[in-house]
Amino acid sequence: MMFKSVLIAEDQEMTSISVRKTLEDLNVTKAEYTYYCDDALLQIKKNLQGETPFDLLITDLSFEEDHRKQEIAGGVELIEEVKKIAPNIKILVFSTEKKPALIDELFKKYGINGFVRKARHDAKDLKLALDALAKGKTYLSPDLKQSVKQKNTFEFTNYDITIIYLLSQGTLQKNIPSYLQENDIRPYGLSSVEKRLNMMKEVLEFSKNEQLVAYCKDFGII
């Protein structure tokens, strides 16, 4: 019932130790761990044709950079790569991340099986998640369930996100039309851009572009 072979991708040694201990408590005998994303992918590749290929990956999202140059920068990219070579391996994300947009994307686009947030009751939470995943269910930390569901009061289109992203990069509003035209994004008129910005600001009861940028950063939209 419980997992046979688990890989932990987590750069914080202390956290990694705790995860290992949790697995021990749940009688998971074989648990490997890596401190780098590249190593994690390598391990999975190696064990793919072996006797006991990994059936679960527990991974963080943010990995610290250091002297060892890495191909895979973070957890999201790691998940993407793992899905390519081993689509059947279950994935449990264990991270401090709490942006609804990102978590939602992890489930929908990348097909992760569980998300546990590093927070006050994360040890209990992790055990519950492992239990749920072993039973073929998905798991999401209780405190996140609300926020993911309610999401944003406003649905940003790709068009919206492009505009706000450009603003956050320092692009002048009046220069946005030429960018849009070059990338075949319609409508590209300045008035359309202004109209869209006004609409977003009205819905969210904002008055300035700076607020939109702050908002989108907060929710992981850009």
Partner DNA sequence: CAGTGCTTTACGGTTTCCCGTATAAAATGC
Partner DNA sequence: GCATTTTATACGGGAAACCGTAAAGCACTG
Of residues 201-220, those binding a second copy (CB under 8 A): 206-211, 213-214, 217-218
Q: Which of residues 104-133 bind a second copy (CB under 8 A)?
A: 118-124, 126
Residues 149-178, one symbol each (x = binds a second copy by CB under 8 A, - = not), give ------------------xxxxxx------
Cα(97)–Cα(135) distance, rounded to whole angstroms? 25
Q: Which does 194 bind (CB under 5 to 8 A by kind): DNA, a second copy, none?
A: DNA
* Prior bond of 187 cis (ω within 30°): yes
Contact 222, 216 (CB under 8 A): yes
Minimum separation from the CB atom of position 21 to a second copy (A)? 7
Which tokens sit at 136? 């073929």
Beta pairing, strands 30-34 & 5-9: parallel
Q: Is 157 in the site for DNA (CB under 7 A)?
A: no
CA distance 159 to 161: 5
Candidate residues 69, 172, 182, 184; the one interacting with DNA per rule CB under 7 A: 172
Alpha helices of the chain — where are they, by DSSP H?
A: 13-25, 37-47, 75-85, 100-108, 122-134, 142-150, 158-168, 176-182, 190-203, 209-218
For residues 134 and 213, which CB has a smaller minimum distance to a second copy in the complex?
A: 213
15 binds, among a second copy, DNA, none (CB under 5 to 8 A by kind): a second copy
Nearest CB to DNA, comparing residues 43 and 209? 209
Contacting residues toward a second copy, per CB under 8 A: 11-15, 17-19, 21-22, 35, 64, 66, 118-124, 126, 143, 167-172, 206-211, 213-214, 217-218, 222
